[in-house]
Amino acid sequence: MPGLSGICAYSVFVLRMALCYRARVLFAKENVLSLDIISFFSTHPKGDFMERGKLRLVMGNMFANKTGTIIHAIETMRTFGHKKVLIFTPTTDTRAGKGAIKNYNGQSLRAVDLLANRPNNALRIIRKEEAGMGSKFHTIVFDEVQFFSPPRVFYRLTDELLRLGYDVLASGLRLDFRGEPFGVTLSLVGLCESMQQVTLLASYCAKCGNPAHLPQRLLNGVPAPYLSPQVKVGGKESYEARCYDCYELPGRPRAS
Ligand SMILES: [Zn+2]
């Protein structure tokens, strides 16, 4: 009969074997997914060495001209840099597709609608567009990145695009109406190599005129409570920019 120490040693051995097996399964899954995406682009001619692309992240408050900022960057790239740029915009329903990104005064650029909960569809669309024009894009743009979900899938998609040599320009809301991180936006800082690649845009407080970092949601003209849904698409009728002093959030839970 084995002693108590023998039983303990055997249990540790079994546990270690189980952990090793699980690690191998996870490792295999990661690599299969990764190889799938790489092979997606393998039909395109490319050099022996593909330099990793760069991420530029434009994030900030509502009414801070985020979309206007990326429209300016895209036009500069296209006009003066002769770069090929593909723009994606998230939709939750393709039937209501908008097909464009638009700034506050109506200036717009054509964009490809991408289902918000299927961000990886971007890979198929990029391949198809590139096959049609016979060359690769230089930059892939995503507007309103906070709506893409799950955030981890969008993060990995961005990493794959960078590894494949594309530059990525992403724009999104940093904080939701609760003043909390909104979707993937803040996480994308993890793919930047320098804070110079990050632009943080504020608006002006609708109450006092100071720099405003928070989107104040209004419900029938008064601040919406904390327990309202995170996503409620709207404009000036249901949101205004506010500074930290003027921002109100009824029902805000206390840190404990
Ligand atoms: Zn204020």
Alpha-carbon distance 212 to 205, whole Å? 5
Nearest to 85 by CA among 26, 166, 172, 203: 166
The 10s digit of each residue's pLDDT in 18-27 is: 554 444 443 3
Cα–ligand 1 centroid distance for 211 (angstroms)? 8
Cα–ligand 1 centroid distance for 200 (angstroms)? 18
Cα–ligand 1 centroid distance for 208 (angstroms)? 4
- The answer to whether the pTM exceeds 0.95 is no
Least confident interval from 5-9, 113-117, 136-140: 5-9
Least confident interval from 9-23, 92-106, 175-189, 220-234: 9-23
The 10s digit of each residue's pLDDT in 211-251 is: 999 999 999 999 999 999 888 887 788 999 999 999 999 99
Q: How many CA atoms lie within 13 A of 194 on its CB side?
A: 3
Cα–ligand 1 centroid distance for 199 (angstroms)? 22
Rg (CA), the chain: 23
Least confident interval from 9-13, 114-118, 187-191, 221-225: 9-13
Is there a contact between 140 and 88 (Cβ–Cβ < 8 Å)? yes
The per-residue pLDDT for 33 is 33
CA 11 to mean position of chain CA atoms: 44
Cα–ligand 1 centroid distance for 104 (angstroms)? 21
Question: What percent of the chain clears pLDDT 70, i.e. is strictly above it?
Answer: 79
Q: What is the set of active-site residues?
A: 144
Res. 93: pLDDT tops 50:
yes
Nearest to 199 by CA among 185, 218, 184: 185
